[in-house]
Amino acid sequence: MLKNSFLLCTGECYLHVPVQQPIFICKKRNRSIKSAAAAAAAVAYNATSSSAAAAASNLEISSASSPSSFPLFQTPSSLQPTPASELEPADPDFYKIGYVRSVRAYGIEFREGPDGFGVYASKDVEPLRRARVIMEIPLELMLTISQKTPWMFFPDIIPVGHPIFDIINSTNPEIDWDLRLACLLLYAFDCKDNFWTLYGDFLPSADECTSLLLATEEDLLELQDHNLASTMREHRQRALEFWEKNWHSAVPLKIKRLARDPERFIWAVSIAQSRCINMQTRIGALVQDLNMLVPYADMLNHSFQPNCFFHWRFKDRMLEVMINAGQRIRRGDEMTVNYMSGWKNNLFMQRYGFSSPVNPWDVIQFSGGARIHLDSFLSVFNISGLPEEYYHNSRLSNNGYNFVDGAVLAAARTLPTWSDGDVPPIPSIERKAAKELQEECQLMLAEYPTTAKEDQQILDSMPEARRTLEAAIKYRLHRKLLIEKVIQALDVYQEQILF
Amino acid sequence: MWFSEIHPTRSSSDSTNCWSGFKAELWLLQSLDNGISRRIVSVDGSVAKRRHLQGSKTSFARAFVTSIWQLKVGLHHSSGNVRLLPCIKCENSNKEGSSFEQVSVEPPPYHSYLDSTSGQLEPASGARASIPGQEFWPEGTASRVRAARAPEPMGASTTSPSYGQNPGSRRKKYKASVASSETSETSGVPDIPDDVLEEPKELLSEYVVYQSEPEEENLSDYEMDKKIGRPHPFIDPKAKKPVEEPLTSEELWWNWRKPEKEQWSRWQRRRPDVETVFLKAMAETGQIKLYGDHPTLTETSLYRARRHIYKEERLKAEQERLEKIGPLAYYSEWVKAWKRDTSREAVQKHFEETGEDENTQLIEMFTHQTDQEYRIMMGTDVRIRRDPLAMRMREDQIKEIWGGDPVYPTINYIQDPDAVIDFRGPDFHEPTPDMLAYLKEHGKIISREELEMKLAKEKTEELEMTDMDEAMAQAVDIGENDDEGEESDDGEEEKISRNWSILKSNPELRKSKGKPKNNNLSLEEAIDDSENLTDFLMDFEEDE
């Protein structure tokens, strides 16, 4: 639902107001300075200098084409530097190992930034009527387990009678999908000639993962969120107990060598959690819900306004990554998918190890009785759609206005509101209510031991910190940024409330 | 004199057929116009059509002549005209022109055509159809073409895989070298222009290894001979080993080794031959007893021998009876209507009276035989079951022997019922199993000494168990027991020490047990046999 709304939103943005830039959230380890700089550069590039850049490129092309008018002989040398081109291209073998196994990538490149891998467009894509394929990954390279209890593996790499199957079979079918997938991943690492033995070299190692399973106790304390911290402790404990139960000293060597120490197993669990794709696939006549680890497709980062999506092509059993229909892609844009819609930040943090200040589904618990008028709030920020699928209707706002982001959508959802048919709001009461809400937000901010600025300073002061610590600090920072954004939105609301 | 080409026009189609028909013939025609004799030479011919021609020769000849008249015989002295119609070349008889021309293959009438699919002029030979546009491709073709056109990744990696041991080892970790990396080397995925068609193929791809140089092969003389095809021995002389001396039959006999028992094919199992099946069926119906569940070889051969002997005996007895009582008496069994005396004396007497000998009388008797009786005599009455056992056999057993459906009989692949069975299986060297040893081994039979030893042991046990005091106490109770039968029954039941299970299953034995008639028992045996001392004493009294 939300995905569709955002698709529509971005589509409209691109079709009518091409200035609007979707906000990319890297899956791993946003270093705020660089990402902010990159975003600024991107915005600047898109907003101000796009026409100039286009003119410049036209000039260069015309000058280059003068010696030979034949278009094939023109060297595509004069490529504009994009924010993505600062990132380092991935190892050539990264794509090569998949290419020989009939993975195909069209018009994209894999680049490695400070936050890990990302997928970037290597050319402009005009909006198309139909979704355009950018990646094809055959089933044979994936690791999949059926979500429900006859455990089936596609491809079936586990031989009959192998003890790893008993281990997988001993898990709780309801909750332990990540443990199963981790077992499968570790087994694939041990299989000779398995693709994942090659691909595993490009997965983030344990010190690069931001998953809180790998976090230390002080990292969890830095979260400033008791519930999340205790949840992560439970998860870690669950994984540890599972490892101790199944990797005790008496197990056969072919099990023992899969994960000799609990760190490796927990790493595998974190990989399984943060890279699992749940899809319904169809293989022949068999329709199945699968937990899949898909190489290459798992390098796509998350965005709340994605420009790509996954599609299962059952005919030749391939997972396709496709560009949304009608989406304009510029060279250097990051290709993103929506991991989960409707999740709050703490769930993202728990499973994927990242959070976002612009999560439109984040929730702030207000306990006071103050309410604001819903329709007025929505009309101030030009938010359209039903509550489940709010989107910013950019056609209604003037061009330079980019205050509204996911946080405002979250505010529209989470602020206590009232709506009573045609009854108009009384401005004074509305302002009063908005002020009360702002005060409540301020109280929430005051409860935190640190402020957003302090968090930012902490982040800047230690560029070489552990990834998990960084992620934890960012999580609380994003929470505070959201609350501050809500306060600002209420300010704007008080100013622009319609009489 | 001159060289002519006759062009049959389309006006007379039958003459055209004739022209193509009798090419092999050499015809001398007197042409009526111009008085010129002409010889028509045709180059190739067909025999099949000549036969047709000979059938209708006269009519043809007439038609030919008339058609010749009707034809416009064009005389062309110039060669080199391009003919659109099939032409037959006629040559002058003396061949003085020496410009003999073969019939040539015509070029196609057009070399390009307007293709309705593409709307363009397409060549008529070669790959004629143009590939239609992508929207007309069948499902999935576009993606396959796209996948095939995707360029190979470029660049070479500097790192090496760790094969799952060290995940993340090939990441670049975004080193500080980013600033200094002005590497023009792009990432693995090159940018694809949409219209890229050709990519330079690497000589060494993942799946195809092109052999760039011929392999240097090192062949021995023998292999070279073999490869080239020069005469060579069948076996490589280097690898050849001298044939070992075959063993004599004596040695073979003594060195014979029993093959392994394991059955690796279902054809190795013991096939159900007629005797085996019959024996099993007989055992099932209780006519005989088999030692095991399958008849052994011994039992089978015994059965076969017995069957043969019994049959011989029966036949012999019949024959003897026939000879003894004479044929008339013998066969009168099947002639109910024959009321006369059939003894030898009566036959002799009848012979003396009427002069009809025995055969005549027999024939006379058989004239009184009914159909039914005849059928019974010949054994063809279907209402009489000839072999009750075979009739009673189960379906699968019948099929084992005769195979399949009696109405639509199938071939019994398992066993031909008429086959002569070779009973020498792989075990035929083995001695016949000794029943006595087997029974002894399994404890079914014991020797007399052992039996006596056992009995003696049991006796001593009994003696040990019988307490004299208890026996005396019970002896005192005799009178009471007589009065109260029920109590004594209970007491008997308690005292049963042996064979209690038999008594439990058929309690009527218990009543008769009271009076065993054993006259010549010793004391010990009587004690042993009786239920208790009371019985013993009562028996003792009765015997006396």
Alpha-carbon distance of B172 to B186, in angstroms, equals 14
Mean pLDDT of B386-407: 68
Q: Is B169 near chain A, with CB under 8 Å?
A: yes
Question: Which residues between 42 and 71 in chain A have a beta carbon less than 8 angstroms from any beta carbon of chain B?
Answer: none
Across-strand partners of A85?
Answer: none
Dihedral of the alpha carbons of B387, B388, B389, B395, in degrees to the nearest 10: 100
What pLDDT shows up at residue B90?
Answer: 52
Per-residue confidence at B474, pLDDT binned at 50, 70, 90?
low
Q: Which residue has the tokens 């060494």?
A: B204
Interface test with B, best of A35, A75, A86, A93 (most B CBs within 10 A): A93
Residue A41 has pLDDT above 50, yes or no: no
What pLDDT shows up at residue B101?
Answer: 60
**Counting beta carbons within 10 angstroms of the beta carbon of residue B467, is it exposed (0 to 12), middle (13 to 18) or buried (19 or more)?**
exposed
Mean pLDDT of B369-397: 79
Q: Is A188 near chain B, with CB under 8 Å?
A: yes
Mean pLDDT of chain A: 84
Q: What does the pLDDT look like over A55-69, one tens digit per residue?
A: 334 333 334 444 445
Question: Which residues between 4 and 23 in chain B have a beta carbon less than 8 angstroms from any beta carbon of chain A?
Answer: none
- Name every chain B residue with its beta carbon within 8 A of the beta carbon of A94: 170, 187-188
Q: What does the pLDDT look like over B247-303, one tens digit per residue?
A: 888 888 887 777 666 677 766 666 667 788 888 888 888 888 888 778 887 888 888
Q: What does the pLDDT look like over B435-458, one tens digit per residue?
A: 788 888 888 888 889 899 999 998
Whether residue A109 and residue B186 make contact (CB cut-off 8 A), yes or no, is yes
Whether residue A205 and residue B166 make contact (CB cut-off 8 A), yes or no, is yes
Per-residue confidence at B429, pLDDT binned at 50, 70, 90?
low
Dihedral sign computed on CA atoms, order A357, A358, A362, A364: positive
Q: What does the pLDDT look like over B187-205, one tens digit per residue?
A: 444 444 443 333 344 444 5
CB pairs < 8 Å spanning A and B: 143
Length of chain B: 544
Mean pLDDT of B420-445: 71
A203: nearest CB among B147, B168, B190: B168
By the 8 A CB rule, do A173 and A148 touch? Answer: yes
What pLDDT shows up at residue B159?
Answer: 86
Residue A38 has pLDDT above 50, yes or no: no
Whether residue A123 and residue B191 make contact (CB cut-off 8 A), yes or no, is yes
Question: Which residues between 358 and 387 in chain A have a beta carbon less than 8 angstroms from any beta carbon of chain B?
Answer: none
Residue A259 has pLDDT above 90, yes or no: yes
What pLDDT shows up at residue B166?
Answer: 87
Alpha-carbon distance of A170 to B157, in angstroms, equals 41
How far apart, in Å, do the first and last CA atoms of chain B sit? 155
Domain spans of chain B, in order of start:
269-402
Percentage of chain A beyond pLDDT 70 is 83
Distance from CA of B206 to the nearest CA of A (A): 7
Q: Which residue has the higher pLDDT, A227 or B477?
A: A227
Mean pLDDT of B169-173: 84
Whether residue B178 and residue A87 make contact (CB cut-off 8 A), yes or no, is yes
- Name every chain B residue with its beta carbon within 8 A of the beta carbon of A315: 139-140
Alpha-carbon distance of A228 to A284, in angstroms, equals 42
Q: Is A198 near chain B, with CB under 8 Å?
A: yes
Cβ partners under 8 Å of residue B355, min gap 6 = none
Helix (H) or strand (E) holding B6: strand B4-6
What pLDDT shows up at residue B110?
Answer: 77
Residue B410 has pLDDT above 60, yes or no: no
Q: Which residue has the higher pLDDT, B204 or B350?
A: B350
Select the highest-mean-pLDDT range: B60-64, B71-75, B263-267: B263-267
- Name every chain B residue with its beta carbon within 8 A of the beta carbon of A271: 167
- Six-digit token string for B338: 């024959």
pTM, two decimals, is 0.51
Question: Which residues between 314 and 353 in chain A have a beta carbon less than 8 angstroms from any beta carbon of chain B?
Answer: 315-316
Mean pLDDT of A466-474: 92
Distance from CA of A258 to the nearest CA of B (A): 10
Whether residue A92 and residue B191 make contact (CB cut-off 8 A), yes or no, is no
Helix (H) or strand (E) holding A110: strand A108-113
B161: nearest CB among A201, A271, A315: A201
Q: Is A78 near chain B, with CB under 8 Å?
A: no
Residue A280 has pLDDT above 90, yes or no: yes
What pLDDT shows up at residue A320?
Answer: 95
Q: Which residue has the higher pLDDT, A325 or B496?
A: A325
What pLDDT shows up at residue B483?
Answer: 45
Residue A406 has pLDDT above 70, yes or no: yes
Question: Which residues between 82 and 101 in chain A have a beta carbon less than 8 angstroms from any beta carbon of chain B?
Answer: 86-96, 99-100
Q: What does the pLDDT look like over A75-97, one tens digit per residue?
A: 445 556 777 778 888 999 999 99
What pLDDT shows up at residue B191?
Answer: 46
Alpha-carbon distance of B53 to B25, in angstroms, equals 10
Whether residue A122 and residue B189 make contact (CB cut-off 8 A), yes or no, is yes
- Name every chain B residue with its beta carbon within 8 A of the beta carbon of A189: 164-165, 167
Q: What does the pLDDT look like over A372-398, one tens digit per residue?
A: 999 999 989 989 989 888 998 888 877
What pLDDT shows up at residue A477?
Answer: 95
By the 8 A CB rule, do B300 and B423 touch? Answer: yes
CB atoms near residue A454 (< 10 Å): 14
**Counting beta carbons within 10 angstroms of the beta carbon of residue B371, is it exposed (0 to 12), middle (13 to 18) or buried (19 or more)?**
exposed
A95: nearest CB among B167, B172, B188: B188
Q: Is B204 near chain A, with CB under 8 Å?
A: no
Per-residue confidence at A270, pLDDT binned at 50, 70, 90?
very high
By the 8 A CB rule, do A457 and A422 touch? Answer: no
- Name every chain A residue with its beta carbon within 8 A of the beta carbon of B161: 93, 197-198, 201
CB atoms near residue B540 (< 10 Å): 13
What pLDDT shows up at residue B291?
Answer: 82
Whether residue B147 and residue A136 make contact (CB cut-off 8 A), yes or no, is yes
Q: Which residue has the tokens 């024996």?
A: B279
Residue A308 has pLDDT above 80, yes or no: yes
Whether residue A205 and residue B156 make contact (CB cut-off 8 A), yes or no, is no
Per-residue confidence at A198, pLDDT binned at 50, 70, 90?
very high
Per-residue confidence at B75, pLDDT binned at 50, 70, 90?
very low
Alpha-carbon distance of B456 to B462, in angstroms, equals 10
Mean pLDDT of A166-195: 94
Looking at A156-160, A379-383, A495-499, which range is the least confident one?
A: A495-499
What pLDDT shows up at residue A246?
Answer: 94
Nearest CA in chain B to A132: B143
- Six-digit token string for A333: 């844009």
Nearest CA in chain B to A122: B191
A204: nearest CB among B147, B171, B190: B171
Classified as helix, coil or strand, B201 is coil
Helix (H) or strand (E) holding A226: helix A226-246
Q: What does the pLDDT look like over B37-47, one tens digit per residue?
A: 344 434 344 43
Q: How many helices, marked H, and strands, marked E, lie in chain A?
A: 17, 16
Per-residue confidence at B31, pLDDT binned at 50, 70, 90?
very low
What pLDDT shows up at residue B467?
Answer: 57
Per-residue confidence at B231, pLDDT binned at 50, 70, 90?
confident
Helix (H) or strand (E) holding A384: strand A383-384
Whether residue A99 and residue B153 make contact (CB cut-off 8 A), yes or no, is yes
Q: Largest Cα–Cα distance of chain B, in whole Å?
A: 163
A90: nearest CB among B167, B175, B187: B187
- Six-digit token string for A276: 């699992």
Per-residue confidence at B2, pLDDT binned at 50, 70, 90?
very low
Per-residue confidence at B151, pLDDT binned at 50, 70, 90?
confident
Mean pLDDT of A200-217: 92
Whether residue B188 and residue A96 make contact (CB cut-off 8 A), yes or no, is yes
- Name every chain A residue with its beta carbon within 8 A of the beta carbon of B155: 92
B167: nearest CB among A106, A190, A200: A200
Looking at A13-17, A384-388, B351-355, which range is the least confident one?
A: A13-17
Distances (CA, A) of B347 to B351, B353, B377: 6, 10, 22
- Six-digit token string for B447: 């020797």
